[in-house]
Amino acid sequence: MSIRIYHNPRCSKSRQTLQLLQERGIEPEIIKYLETPPSEDELRRILDMLGLRPRDLMRKREPEYKASGADDPSLSDDELIALMVKYPKLIERPIVVHDGKAALGRPPEQILEIL
């Protein structure tokens, strides 16, 4: 049973989600995505599992959102994914992936649906 969490230790929701997993005896593979961003292909798979479009997984209040040009409504999904890989702060967190499914830990309890 392999469980992966795309984690930012500075984010309270990410810490709460990790704690929720650990309280259930689950030690997930922790990916500090700001240090090791997902590849474009990996991000596409995550988006498919979440059933989201790229813009739906973006942190629109991050300064990088406007600075990177991600706020341009004419950008394609491919262009948005490329920006998310280049500027991983744009990726909403935490994301938990398990057994071909993914969930966003907002709120943290939402991840229980895929366990």
Nearest to 55 by CA among 72, 35, 31: 72
Q: Considering its fold, how many domains does the chain have in total?
A: 1
Return d(Cα 78, Cα 111) in angstroms, integer.
Answer: 27
DSSP state of 111: G
| Domain presence at residue 22 | yes
3, 4, 11, 40: which one is catalytic?
A: 11
| Domain presence at residue 69 | no
| Domain presence at residue 71 | no
41: its two tokens: 């292909």
| Domain presence at residue 68 | no
Question: In the beta sheet, which residues pair with residue 104?
Answer: 95
Question: Which whole number is the average pLDDT over 42-67?
Answer: 97
DSSP state of 102: E
Catalytic residue status for 11: yes
Residue with tokens 């394609």: 76
| Residue 10 near residue 62 (C-beta atoms within 8 A) | no
Question: Which whole number is the average pLDDT over 85-104?
Answer: 97
| Domain presence at residue 107 | yes
DSSP string, 67-80: HTTTT-TT--HHHH
Task: Determine the structural domain holding residue 8 and report its residue range.
Answer: 1-33+93-115
pTM: 0.94
The answer, yes or no, to whether residue 1 has pLDDT greater than 90, is: no
CATH of residue 113's domain is 3.40.30.10
| Domain presence at residue 61 | no
